[in-house]
Chain A
């Protein structure tokens, strides 16, 4: 965001030259920018793979790709979107916003912060390079279940080491977030005065540190089973392929909350601003987030109802999973109550946030349906689950990320985005994403299996609609690149004020737009009237 140089903050010792500014940076804003740009690039790459998938599924029969390559596409689409797009995007938000929101001079461990980011491009280059190897990319699905994943080509070692590197990056990033929040808050910034985005990230960071090492262990076992003759997942040697599924989902279920809790935080910042009311039930939001995080550790086997589990296990995991709807319900009702009788306006971030609340809730309800073990036997591995997790991840996590970009980009760049283009982007995306994913519910209920390039002709019509929606949604995100580019360059836009939004509260709105390279000097207390969530409300 070099245009910032032209403003009156160029006395702030920004390192000169590309290498020093970006490769060796210790500045939380620059690192946040790097994360966001990288996540955007991976979002486009993962999206491109999804476009090929939808192209193949446009009609029954095999038109464009072979089944094995199709499997590589679904696997890599998921790995790239989860670890390359959604997670780094949230870390980008964390880097940019947490120090500003709590009045800290920077992240607690700035050099390690740089390393957390600069591992990612290397890890993904390695992971994506497997497409060009003998036997191609991993093709057993992102869940990497053995024994299938052990029967692939040379990609396994590369994929496993890439995952190790991503894990190291995530753990270092999470440690930094925790140390920053616990140690770097300005005086008078008590825990229960923190913006909810900071709270959700604190809890997300605990989840990351707890489960990324477990995932590292699981893929290490895959590696040694494949290359060194161990038998963790081989029944002949006394192991069990299902063991992998248990370990994977012990990681995997908290992982899906790692991708949604920061979304909750972003939405909880935006809704109060445009409702011109403080967030309803702030403290209950904090407790609900903690409760969701706790529950995420004890529900993992609901991903495995059809795999063969003792009856008591099925019952336990069914009821424990249903419990999650309680704290999640608290959140949804709080969001609705925040808007209730508010002086609402519908700027672009608000539109995305309202769509988030509605569409994420649809995803939550289909999740509740699948929590019912006997019914899940019917849904398992069908397009119903594909529809479910795309509702929570695309219209959930990705919508929240886009909402957050529109909400804070004036603060980041000093320029307002074009409200007209933003609204076009919103309606285009929201309509197309429902055309894309809603029919998949019906396909799944009718029995169409996931991860198969061909299908019975009875599924043709809904698949065609889904593909048309997919292409439209994909194109809308290319349009988004253009909107963001114009905003950064300040083309056809107006200058942002410091406050940006009329109803905005929180420290980030009391500093100039664009935010100067260095924001706060430590030691200065925060004033209560600057904050949105002070208990006097």
Chain B
């Protein structure tokens, strides 16, 4: 093995960037956001979390800068297929980590529904707990617990907005796939059209999701504080909504890049990564629709 140094110019060699100026900006942004949010949560008087917003602004600035650098290198043909594979693996394993994050909340939902709520209701080992502490509590899902935390609430009908939202997201997966096929065929205008359709479907989904939250808070008395039902419902759908928002922003960026002539029929990893991410949030929604809304 020779020790000749890596030249960063040649196309057939693995591209190793020389300096990374954005990570430290990202760390500063992340820290500002975290300290700002923590201070805000701890403050006893009403305040605006200025530091948190500043942190998010720095993070967004960092992402623009970092991605711009990567896009420039990519369009400048500095990446060989091996670099492409590294990016692909990075995205796949990132999505896997997201799967595990949602699995944590789905697991918590499974545990409370099948174990802890029945135990509180006196099933199995919970007999004495029920008789001595929570006498009269039935332990039937949906529940805000034996303490009636947050007061009485009603459920969202899965066959109205949630069903519409399911259809919207499933349709958006189809439009995105059509766009992908068009990209492979080199039909740029068609790609952009179908991508815009995808983003619109995502936006309508988010709009209905907000409508649903307003309905829940104002008319159904279902809030984040409605015991374990409210906790699991809003945390699961809320994190999903955040991911849809992020996915929609990513799709928008891809659309703008397509308008600027980026991507080739044979090489468009940025597009594919976002598509994988979008399909992932779709699958999570299917899980939500079944386990949170219907069952």
- Genuine A/B complex: yes
A binding-site residues for B, Cβ under 8 Å: 11-13, 15, 20, 23-26, 103-106, 108-112, 114-115, 118-119, 122-123, 125-126, 154, 157-158, 160-162, 164-165, 168, 171, 174-176, 178-179, 182-184, 186, 209-214, 216-218, 220-221, 223-224, 227-232, 234-240, 242-243, 246-247, 250, 308, 310, 507, 510-512, 516-524, 526
Asked whether B144 lies within 8 Å of A237 as measured between CB atoms, the reply is yes
A217 and B14 contact, Cβ closer than 8 Å, known pairs A243-B111, A511-B1? no
Contacts of A11 in B (CB 8 A): 5
A111 and B20 contact, Cβ closer than 8 Å, known pairs A175-B93, A212-B97? yes
Residue in contact with B104 in the complex, picked from A184, A214, A507, CB distance below 8 Å: A214
Contacts of B261 in A (CB 8 A): none
Known: A103-B1, A114-B20, A179-B89. 5 other contacts (CB 8 A): A106-B14, A179-B85, A231-B225, A238-B149, A240-B111
Asked whether A221 lies within 8 Å of B108 as measured between CB atoms, the reply is yes
Q: Which residues of chain B (223-248) have a CB below 8 Å from chain A?
A: 224-225, 227-232, 234-235
B2 in the interface (beta carbon within 8 A): yes
Closest to B103 in A: A214
B156 in the interface (beta carbon within 8 A): no
A521 to B5, CA, bound (A): 7
A105 and B14 contact, Cβ closer than 8 Å, known pairs A161-B38, A214-B103, A524-B2? yes
Asked whether B23 lies within 8 Å of A237 as measured between CB atoms, the reply is no
Interface readout for B264-286 with A: 1 if CB under 8 Å, 0 if not? Answer: 00000000000000000000000
B120 in the interface (beta carbon within 8 A): yes
A182 to B92, CA, bound (A): 13
Contacts of A224 in B (CB 8 A): 224, 231, 235
Q: How far is the CB of B226 from chain A (nearest CB, A)?
A: 8
Closest 4 CB pairs between A and B? A236-B147, A217-B104, A238-B145, A115-B23
A114, A230, A522 interface centre (most CB from chain B within 10 Å) = A230
Please report whether the interface of chain B is mostly helix, strand, loop or mixed according to DSSP: helix
Q: How large is the interface on B (under 10, 10 to 19, 20 to 34, 35 or more residues)?
A: 35 or more
A353 to B85, CA, bound (A): 37
Q: Which residues of chain B (134-164) have a CB below 8 Å from chain A?
A: 134, 143-147, 149-150
Closest to A221 in B: B108
Interface readout for B69-82 with A: 1 if CB under 8 Å, 0 if not? Answer: 00000000000001
Asked whether A230 lies within 8 Å of B16 as measured between CB atoms, the reply is no
Contacts of B235 in A (CB 8 A): 220-221, 224, 230
Contacts of B93 in A (CB 8 A): 174-175, 178-179, 209
Q: How far is the CB of B107 from chain A (nearest CB, A)?
A: 7
B64 in the interface (beta carbon within 8 A): no
B48 in the interface (beta carbon within 8 A): no
Contacts of B147 in A (CB 8 A): 234-237
Asked whether A237 lies within 8 Å of B31 as measured between CB atoms, the reply is no
A20 to B16, CA, bound (A): 15
Interface readout for B21-57 with A: 1 if CB under 8 Å, 0 if not? Answer: 1111011101100110110011000000000000000
Asked whether B104 lies within 8 Å of A209 as measured between CB atoms, the reply is no
A165 to B251, CA, bound (A): 26
Residue in contact with A182 in the complex, picked from B30, B89, B101, CB distance below 8 Å: B89
Contacts of B89 in A (CB 8 A): 108, 175, 178-179, 182-183
Q: How far is the CB of B90 from chain A (nearest CB, A)?
A: 5
Asked whether A175 lies within 8 Å of B94 as measured between CB atoms, the reply is yes
A211 to B97, CA, bound (A): 8
Residue in contact with A238 in the complex, picked from B6, B14, B16, B117, CB distance below 8 Å: B117
A161 and B34 contact, Cβ closer than 8 Å, known pairs A224-B235, A231-B228? yes
Closest to A223 in B: B41
Asked whether A238 lies within 8 Å of B101 as measured between CB atoms, the reply is no
A125 to B149, CA, bound (A): 37
Asked whether B116 lies within 8 Å of A238 as measured between CB atoms, the reply is yes
Asked whether A157 lies within 8 Å of B1 as measured between CB atoms, the reply is no
Closest to A175 in B: B93
Asked whether A12 lies within 8 Å of B5 as measured between CB atoms, the reply is yes
Interface readout for B115-128 with A: 1 if CB under 8 Å, 0 if not? Answer: 11101100011000
Closest to A135 in B: B42
A118, A235, A516, A524 interface centre (most CB from chain B within 10 Å) = A235
Asked whether A23 lies within 8 Å of B24 as measured between CB atoms, the reply is yes
A520 and B112 contact, Cβ closer than 8 Å, known pairs A231-B145, A308-B125? no
Closest to B226 in A: A237
A119 to B26, CA, bound (A): 8
15 pairs from A and B in contact (CB 8 Å cutoff): A26-B18, A110-B20, A111-B23, A119-B27, A119-B30, A126-B31, A126-B35, A175-B93, A178-B93, A214-B100, A217-B105, A231-B228, A238-B117, A240-B115, A521-B2
Asked whether B227 lies within 8 Å of A237 as measured between CB atoms, the reply is yes
A210 and B38 contact, Cβ closer than 8 Å, known pairs A20-B19, A231-B149, A247-B108? no
Closest to B116 in A: A240
Contacts of B218 in A (CB 8 A): none
Asked whether A232 lies within 8 Å of B108 as measured between CB atoms, the reply is yes
Asked whether B3 lies within 8 Å of A230 as measured between CB atoms, the reply is no
Q: How far is the CB of B174 from chain A (nearest CB, A)?
A: 29
Asked whether B13 lies within 8 Å of A522 as measured between CB atoms, the reply is yes
Q: How far is the CB of A191 from chain B (nearest CB, A)?
A: 15
Closest to A215 in B: B104
A106, A175, A526 interface centre (most CB from chain B within 10 Å) = A175
Asked whether A24 lies within 8 Å of B6 as measured between CB atoms, the reply is no
Q: How far is the CB of B42 from chain A (nearest CB, A)?
A: 4
A161 and B20 contact, Cβ closer than 8 Å, known pairs A108-B86, A108-B89? no
Contacts of B143 in A (CB 8 A): 238
Asked whether B3 lies within 8 Å of A211 as measured between CB atoms, the reply is no
